[in-house]
């Protein structure tokens, strides 16, 4: 569930050039270096355990989204590597309708910009299934525990994908999710069976596949065969 209120694939951002482009390039180089530090010297660890136990001070953090992040969200959502799997419309009005209530606190979904060395690299959100009864009903077929949270995520900067960062982001996000929601027993994610990069990232972050099938959902991201993954609270 991405919570999409509508669907249109019209890009709403302009190419970045001039000074702004130079700053972005500089920031990107800094983030590549930060990713290498976070993941280990090679910058492409397959051993995620290593990355997850990397020294404190690794510069990964989650910052609640603001309205000023919407243009960046639109830019990320318009990139082919995200759009392929995150089929959410990204015009300003749609983002305002979807994420404005989250910013205002009237929608209990929590959305964060993932930052690496203080620079934005992606997006994560979490929600309680109990707050989304229709989605909870769709997931019943997968045997999902009722007191669960769901998460969704993407790395918006394509050059930072495929390096092992996703599993670290997911694992760290779960750390804060257990304490934020002491009542939940598990976190569940549904992912297209064709999106191997995402379900492998979940497996490397400690999730297990609990079901495979076609979900009843009006979200275009949920079309086709899905895998449902779950990770249970470590202390239960």
Ligand X SMILES: CC(C)(COP(=O)(O)OP(=O)(O)OC[C@H]1O[C@@H](n2cnc3c(N)ncnc32)[C@H](O)[C@@H]1OP(=O)(O)O)[C@@H](O)C(=O)NCCC(=O)NCCS
Which is closer to ligand X, CB of 7 or CB of 23? 7
Which residue among 34, 142, 155, 186 contacts ligand X (CB under 6 A)?
155
Of 197 and 217, which has the nearer Cβ to ligand X? 197
CA 174 – CA 181 distance, rounded (Å): 10
Of 5, 64, 101, 162, the one binding ligand X by CB under 6 A: 162
225, β-bridge pairs: 214
CA 98/CA 3 separation, integer angstroms: 7
The reply on whether position 70 binds ligand X by CB under 6 A is no
Task: Give the integer Cα–Cα distance in Å for 1 and 132.
Answer: 10
Structure tokens at 170: 């997911």
The contact pattern for ligand X, residues 37-66, with x = CB under 6 A and - = no contact, is ---------x--------------------
> Residue 220 — φ and ψ, nearest 5°?
-60, -25
Position 209 contacts ligand X (CB under 6 A): no
What is the C-alpha separation between 158 and 76, in angstroms, rounded? Answer: 9
Instruction: Candidates 153, 173, 207, 229: give the one binding ligand X (CB under 6 A).
Output: 153
Contact between 154 and 138 (Cβ < 8 Å)? no
CB of 179 to ligand X, least distance (A): 22
Residues forming contacts to ligand X in the complex (CB under 6 A) are 46, 81-82, 85-86, 153-155, 161-167, 191, 195-198, 200-201, 204
């Amino acid at each position: 569930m991405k919570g999409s209120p509508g669907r249109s694939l019209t890009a709403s951002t302009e190419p970045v050039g001039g000074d702004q482009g130079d700053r972005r390039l500089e920031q990107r180089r800094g983030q590549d270096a930060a990713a290498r530090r976070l993941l280990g010297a090679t910058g492409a660890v397959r051993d995620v355990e290593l990355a997850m136990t990397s020294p404190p001070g690794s510069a990964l953090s989650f910052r609640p989204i603001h309205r000023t992040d919407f243009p960046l969200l639109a830019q990320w959502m318009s990139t082919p590597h995200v759009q392929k799997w995150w089929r959410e419309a990204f015009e300003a009005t749609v983002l305002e309708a979807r994420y404005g209530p989250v910013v205002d606190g009237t929608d209990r979904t929590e959305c964060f910009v993932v930052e690496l060395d203080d620079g934005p690299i992606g997006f994560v959100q979490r929600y309680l299934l109990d707050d989304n009864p229709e989605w909870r009903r769709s997931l019943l077929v997968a045997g999902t525990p009722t007191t669960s949270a769901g998460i969704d995520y993407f790395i918006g900067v394509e050059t930072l994908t495929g390096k092992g960062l996703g599993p670290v982001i997911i694992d760290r996000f779960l750390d804060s999710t257990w304490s934020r929601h002491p009542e939940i027993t598990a976190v569940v994610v549904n992912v297209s069976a064709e999106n191997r990069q995402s379900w492998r990232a979940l497996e490397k972050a400690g999730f297990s596949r609990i079901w495979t099938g076609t979900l009843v959902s009006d979200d275009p991201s949920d079309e086709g065969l899905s895998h449902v993954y779950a990770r249970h609270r470590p202390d239960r």
